[in-house]
Structure 1
């Protein structure tokens, strides 16, 4: 039986997976080249091999549909042999966070896929992502590098909200954080810590003034968001995930193209919007709502500056567009 054509949503998900995947894949290849720890090196080798298989599968989908395979990122964006930029510990944390992004992307793509072979592709990709998640968690725990979320102590019986003060988080009048609110608080903090650390590292090695300026500003934005979220946890005497800045060396030799550096940071800030939105949706305290709303607006500004800079340098690859019917009619 002849396959049905891929829908616009299916093409869009494949395109995004290819661009984002090749960006992360290029960074993974650099990290693999510098990692000294045998266990961490082994897990990166698996991540590289896994994506190479997924990349081929995505390319085949495009070719079968008559679409050009995206350019994305490749070895022209990678300069192996430069001075070490990251510690082994940072590399493992990076792989863990990017695996989380990958799992979310695969699951979202599966939910908009209709054709069976594409669903099978995302099933396989999700399974590989889940396995990588378990491996990164296990290794972080084994190395003593993983910080667990705060512990809560059980009540004797379930209880119900009894007054409107439950939503008041300002001026110390409100209740302590709910376990459901900790989910997004903790995850958003860890992702902001990763974004800040990469901004610092990339600002040291970026080749152009405009890119360095953007990275310095994005570092300030991420730092402000970390402080805002940490303040909420600390008010309840809850621990804050540790920073990763000291896992970046003082190297100024860039192993990456400025195109890759800038794209990667834009991806992180755009992806963060999903998690901030989830945090906003689960927030039941007014201070949390206000913090997430402010963070989302800040990220929109960062993304706008990122877009302008990517376009200025002709680095932003264009996704497939809907046919312009007016132009087709004019050119008849």
Structure 2
């Protein structure tokens, strides 16, 4: 006789569900404020679609946490973390850029979450989320293409034949002759430059409106780091006589009234830091030219230090919600 046993969530599943809840509650706050000020009808429709997805996720996640007898994370809420009376901070074009990037990050996150799942119901949930993120990304990209705001990666001529690497000089990059960038290296440079453009605009806006001086200074530092990284990646392309992505016209407005709590802005910055570090690590792994590897190691170190500074600010202000963690067995043993 078969008996149905309840299967507990694994640590990997709990981690993904918890992170998903934190991210979606923060995104809902962003969408709510953006929808107050957005003027373009296509972008408004896209924001509404993104809002519906995040709200559905939060409802589903709350149900899972309750059924599994896990505490529902506090996360973020419109009533606490959004000032709906604040003037517009970002342009419609930036709203579109932001949504497209959320689609990118969602596809990466949900693919990883799905690959770490064991329970079928959780697999089905993350599969649905992955499909939704790809749909969101495609919708945003289609609108960007129609408006002429999508900046394509550089083009390269089609290869005449298949070739194999013959010399160790293929790896060179510090001294002497450097081979041209290959398509994989080029795509990584372009991708990281675009991500830093997004981060630069966010941090520029946050630096104008944060309430605490230490948060404003932190955002200014991050803005400058992003700006420097954009210049570094752009120069790598220009040295090869390749066009670098021109910045979108996405500068923030001149508002100094905070639309979001400092806690929410610090959380969002921590997410950008984590994603940036992961992207640099991926780029390092697929970029054999030594000078590129050296750049990624150095830039990763800068972001790691910046991220640690941010975590310290969040801890000092009691803004850092702790993820679920393993039982401290030593503490139990010591009474």
Q: Quickly name the TM-score band, shorter chain normalised.
A: over 0.9
Given the alignment of the two structures, is residue 328 of structure 1 paired with residue 332 of structure 2, yes or no?
yes
Please, which of 236, 240, 245 is the counterpart of residue 244 of structure 2? Answer: 240
Note closer, same or farther for the CA distance 1:246–1:110 as it changes in structure 2 (3 Å cut).
closer
Give the CA deviation at 1:325.
Answer: 1.6
Given the alignment of the two structures, is residue 156 of structure 1 paired with residue 160 of structure 2, yes or no?
yes
Give secondary structure in 1 for the equivalent of 2:165: coil
Matches within 5 A, 1:65-80: 65-75=68-78, 76-80=80-84
Note closer, same or farther for the CA distance 1:245–1:197 as it changes in structure 2 (3 Å cut).
farther
Please, which of 141, 147, 155 is the counterpart of residue 143 of structure 1? Answer: 147
Give the CA deviation at 1:22.
Answer: 1.4
Flag as ranges the 4+ runs of structure 1 deviating above 6 A.
Answer: none
Give the CA deviation at 1:246.
Answer: 4.7
Given the alignment of the two structures, is residue 269 of structure 1 paired with residue 266 of structure 2, yes or no?
no
What is the Cα-based RMSD across aligned positions, in Å? 1.2
Matches within 5 A, 1:252-263: 252-263=256-267
Query: Distance in 2 between the 1:296 and 1:283 partners?
Result: 14
Matches within 5 A, 1:109-124: 109-124=113-128
Matches within 5 A, 1:1-332: 1-75=4-78, 76-170=80-174, 173-244=177-248, 246-331=250-335
Query: Distance in 2 between the 1:142 and 1:62 partners?
Result: 41
Deviations 1:122-170 (A, max 9, x none): 0110010011111011000001110011111112211121222212223
TM-score (norm 2): 0.96
Query: Distance in 2 between the 1:4 and 1:322 partners?
Result: 18
Give the CA deviation at 1:98.
Answer: 1.6
Single out whichever of 16-25 and 137-146 deviates more from structure 2.
16-25
How many corresponding residue pairs?
331
Deviations 1:82-102 (A, max 9, x none): 111111001100111121111
Query: Distance in 1 between the 2:206 and 2:311 partners?
Result: 18
Query: Distance in 1 between the 2:113 and 2:166 partners?
Result: 41
Extract unaligned runs of 5+ from structure 2: none
Query: Distance in 1 between the 2:275 and 2:135 partners?
Result: 21
Extract unaligned runs of 5+ from structure 1: none
Note if contact 1:149-1:186 (Cα within 8 Å) is conserved in structure 2.
yes
Give secondary structure in 2 for the equivalent of 1:247: coil
Note if contact 1:229-1:291 (Cα within 8 Å) is conserved in structure 2.
no
TM-score (norm 1): 0.97
Deviations 1:258-314 (A, max 9, x none): 100111111101111111111000111111101100111011101110110000000
